[in-house]
Amino acid sequence: LAKLLKDIERGRIDAVIVYKVDRLSRSLLDFATLMGIFEKHNVSFVSVTQQFNSATPMGRLTLNILFSFAQFEREIISERIRDKIAAAKRKGKHTGGTPILGYDIKDSKLIVNPREAKIVRDIFRRFLVLRSPLNLAKELNGRGITSKTWTTRKGKRRAGVPWNKTTIYNLLTNRKYVGEITHYKQVHKGEHEAIIDVKTWERTQAV
């Protein structure tokens, strides 16, 4: 898009042709800005599947109507997705995202990985002794322990990385380890097995 706009400013473009309106942009504000640039440089805009051309008044009217509906459709789809995720989390279901140390994902569910779960319990235990995320990160890195190593759905391996203060903090405050699922500020009982007991969790959060 940046290259296209530069070519438009240099007078190299007569028309921008897309398959559908929303291939150019899905934001009404951004789209209006782009159309302003097109008009300034006498560039017409054509959608080959929607039968209009911005070079005519009727074409511009049709364009605005089509784009308004495209944005409306996008917002409705986003709203439905948010509602679906919220409903799934209320039931305690895992709704995707990067796997965390201690769990594997099977059939869209969190399954305890025994070897990693032992490491997670050790991290909580050592934190209560050291009481410092930074010192704990240094200790884990010194022992050669990394974050989660996992494989994507496409079969690409993602290697674990060394710890730092932030990643230690994120692990220690992740309520999945106590068998819960969060959605914004709401907490729901998860359908997965807890790795950390409630007493250890509460002591950790207090520190």
Task: Check if the beta carbon of residue 100 is closer than 8 Å to that of residue 109.
Answer: no
Give percent of the chain above pLDDT 90: 48
The structure tokens 């897309």 sit at 18
How far is it, in rounded angstroms, from Cα 179 to Cα 187?
A: 10
CB within 8 A of 172, min separation 6: which ones? 123, 124, 127, 133, 204
pLDDT for 48:
82
Q: Which of 64, 9, 7, 12 is nearest to 40 (CA)?
A: 9
Give me the percent of the chain exceeding a pLDDT of 70.
93
- Helices (H), ranges, the chain: 2-9, 28-40, 57-90, 114-130, 133-142, 165-172, 198-206
Angle made by CA atoms 173, 175, 178, in degrees to the nearest 5: 115
Non-local CB neighbours of 47 within 8 Å, separated by 6+ positions: 17, 18, 19, 20, 21, 63, 66
Calpha distance 76→105 (Å, rounded): 29
90: pLDDT strictly greater than 80: no
Q: SS3 for 166?
A: helix
Say which residue, 81 or 124, is predicted with more confidence. Answer: 124
Q: How do residues 155-166 score in pLDDT, each as one tens digit? A: 888 899 999 999
Give tens-digit pLDDT for 166-204. 999 999 999 999 999 888 878 888 889 999 999 999 999
pLDDT for 50: 72
Specify the pLDDT at position 28: 66
Residue 22 scores a pLDDT above 80: no
The torsion angle over the Cα atoms of residues 55, 60, 66 and 72, rounded to 10 degrees, is: 130
Q: What is the mean pLDDT of residues 141-153?
A: 91
Q: Is the full-model pTM beyond 0.85?
A: no
pLDDT at 99: 85
Does residue 126 register a pLDDT over 90? yes
- Predicted confidence at residue 132, as pLDDT, reads 96
pLDDT of residue 55: 67
pLDDT the model gives residue 78: 82
Given a cut of 80, whether residue 51 has pLDDT beyond it is: no
Q: What is the pLDDT of residue 26?
A: 67
C-alpha distances in Å from residue 79, one per residue of 26, 83, 84, 152, 157: 15, 6, 9, 27, 32
